[in-house]
A and B are shown apart, each in its own frame.
Chain A
Amino acid sequence: MPMLTENLSRQATERGDAVALVDGAQRHSYADLHGAAAAVAAQLGAKGVRVGDRVALLLDNGFDYVAALYGCLACGAVAVPLNTAARAGDLGGWIAHADARAVVLAPGHPAAGELLATARGDGRLILMTSGADVVEGSRLCTDARTAYGALARPASADAPAMILYTSGTTGRPKGVVLTHRNLAANVAAIVDYLALGPTDRMVTVLPFFYSFGNSVLHTHLAVGAMLVLEPNLVYPQKVLETLVRERATGFAGVPSTFALLLSRARLADYDLSALRYVQQAGGGMPPALIERTLQALPASCSFFVMYGQTEATARISYLPPEHLRAKPGSVGIPLRGVEIEVRREDRSRCAALEVGTIFVRGEGVMAGYWNDPGLTASVLAGGWLNTGDSGYVDADGYLYIAGRRSDIIKTGAHRVQPQDVEAVIAEIEGVEEAAVVPVDDDILGEVVKAVVVLRPGAVVTDLEIKARCRARLAAYKIPKRVEFASSLPRTSTGKVQRHLLARP
């Protein structure tokens, strides 16, 4: 099975002049990208990064991000892409938790100043900056003029390749360790069912630091396709114009991506006739929204509903498009090489249509959580991953998700751990306690609501609470709504009954 670095080397050899990435006005060929990745690998080695060292990446989607990531993989380092929307507290926490040897960052990032100061004080952390020398010799080298050979195959396919953090650092940081084999296997299976090829042109708004965006990146580079980067969906018309201009064959989004596109634009006004496949993952998409999306897309376009988890690299199952209307609400069948079991509390297998916990096995299942054997053991046993999701399989073997057991709030493409927000609110003078819960939202699926209990006599406004959250947390974690209560509902054992607060 070819590893990711071998995929890129092959494409650079077979179609070096083909466009790999469109990043704003820049069009980068496979030869350029491959050369840049090799240059980064050489630079990392020269700076003292060794096999197994962690290299944190704080870069938005772009050529430098991809070059840095493949450079890490090629020199045996473990890439740790960080959420660029996060604030300095979480970023510093992840860098410390991963015990990163190096950090590659964009000097313009809002947290760059703080991180640069920390890195300088640390003395051990190697600093690399994209675009400019911030300290002497720090500029990320993506100069492909030097002739490099093929990117190295990792010494061991089972060595860690990436760590993806799926939660903040308030509680217990969860760094999902993905091996080279995990990534290669998941990529190969996705390429297979989407029938991706070198003539595909994918427009993506998904950040590469999340597993969905990460899989979109690697699957398209693996086949020599073209990836067109759009920074966000603030102006949906811009994204649609790009789809038209590039004659895009592919598009990917979470449910809110489609809700936003449909709410602000008439898709029928745009020539999307080249679109061959649209992928949806990142949470359940209401069948009515799927139907509206189908109506707006060309009839020749296949719509893939998919289910996955970072802990399974990305993808676990997909619904073959021809069954979309026959199996509404289903997330489909397992990918090639993936087994799914729905189990009862006693671990015995559920019957068809019986709701239980979803377990997954296959080459995409992570090696574990970084530096946390206890947490790893709580979800991994005998090669099986406990997804924490509940669901059932119908008589034809199609999987349906019935709910999630965790308190995680899914807002747009993001996941919010309530404790991260509660901890920040609890620090405010005058706050007794706070509970953070999801409330339904037409566009984002869910948004964050905070219910706050103040100390007697204290005066704290919702504006002050939001302002504090904005200073300390990524924007998507800021509560859209703040309510005040005299107390929080609790069970007899003292646990907050979040479900009672999660009403609109």
Chain B
Amino acid sequence: METERKIRDFVLRNYLFTTDENALRNDQSLMQTGVLDSTGILELISFLYEAFEVQVDDEEMVPENLDSVAQLTTFVTGKLAAVERSAV
């Protein structure tokens, strides 16, 4: 939940310029609703690294991973779990 909250907060503040939780649905397509553009996605990738130390590889830069808060949360959670597994 903490991961999702951080991602939601970043998208709301940096692309929608609001703290209104109702302004964004978790399953909302960020590209199709005009929230993310071609440079916005670069900022998002920088955020994922700064907030979670998650590196987005080129082949991972696809809508299935990054196009909604829900997809982003699943992607980040999966990456962090993979890091934990490899550390064990």
- Using CB atoms and an 8 Å cutoff, list the residues of chain A in contact with chain B: 85, 110, 232-238, 256, 260, 263-266, 412, 443-444, 463-464, 466-467, 470, 475-476, 478
CB–CB B38/A237 < 8 A: no
Q: Which residue of A lies closest to B20 (CB)?
A: A467
The main secondary structure of chain B at its interface with chain A is loop
Stretch of B1-9, B57-65, B68-76, B80-88 that contacts chain A: B57-65
Inter-chain contacts of B41 with A (CB < 8 A):
234-235
CB–CB A234/B34 < 8 A: no
CB–CB A463/B61 < 8 A: no
* Whole-angstrom CA separation of A478 from B17 in the bound complex: 10
- Is B16 interfacial (CB 8 A cutoff)? yes
- What's the least CB distance linking B25 to chain A, in Å? 16
Chain B, interface size category, equals 10 to 19
- Is B36 interfacial (CB 8 A cutoff)? yes
| 11 A-B interface contacts by CB (under 8 A) | A85-B34, A234-B37, A235-B41, A235-B62, A237-B61, A264-B42, A463-B17, A467-B17, A470-B17, A475-B34, A478-B17
Q: Which residue of B lies closest to A411 (CB)?
A: B39
Asked if A233 meets B38 with Cβ closer than 8 Å, knowing A266-B58, A466-B17, A470-B17, the reply is yes
Name 20 extra pairs, CB < 8 A, besides A234-B37, A235-B31, A475-B34: A110-B34, A232-B37, A232-B38, A234-B31, A234-B40, A234-B41, A235-B41, A236-B61, A237-B58, A237-B59, A237-B62, A256-B38, A412-B38, A467-B16, A467-B17, A467-B18, A470-B17, A475-B37, A476-B37, A478-B17
CB–CB B58/A463 < 8 A: no
Asked if A264 meets B17 with Cβ closer than 8 Å, knowing A412-B39, A475-B34, A476-B37, the reply is no
* Whole-angstrom CA separation of A110 from B59 in the bound complex: 32
Inter-chain contacts of B38 with A (CB < 8 A):
232-234, 236, 256, 260, 412
Of residues 36 through 60 on chain B, the ones whose CB sits less than 8 Å from some CB of chain A are: 36-42, 58-59
Q: Which residue of A lies closest to B19 (CB)?
A: A463
Q: Which of A265, A412, A466, A476 contacts B58 (CB 8 A)?
A: A265
CB–CB B42/A263 < 8 A: yes
CB–CB A234/B59 < 8 A: no
* Whole-angstrom CA separation of A264 from B34 in the bound complex: 20
- What's the least CB distance linking A476 to chain B, in Å? 7
* Whole-angstrom CA separation of A296 from B6 in the bound complex: 37
* Whole-angstrom CA separation of A412 from B39 in the bound complex: 9
- What's the least CB distance linking B72 to chain A, in Å? 14
* Whole-angstrom CA separation of A263 from B39 in the bound complex: 11
Q: Which residue of B lies closest to A476 (CB)?
A: B37
Inter-chain contacts of B59 with A (CB < 8 A):
237
* Whole-angstrom CA separation of A110 from B40 in the bound complex: 20
- What's the least CB distance linking B77 to chain A, in Å? 21
Q: Which of B16, B39, B42 contacts A470 (CB 8 A)?
A: B16
Inter-chain contacts of A264 with B (CB < 8 A):
42, 58, 61
Inter-chain contacts of B19 with A (CB < 8 A):
463
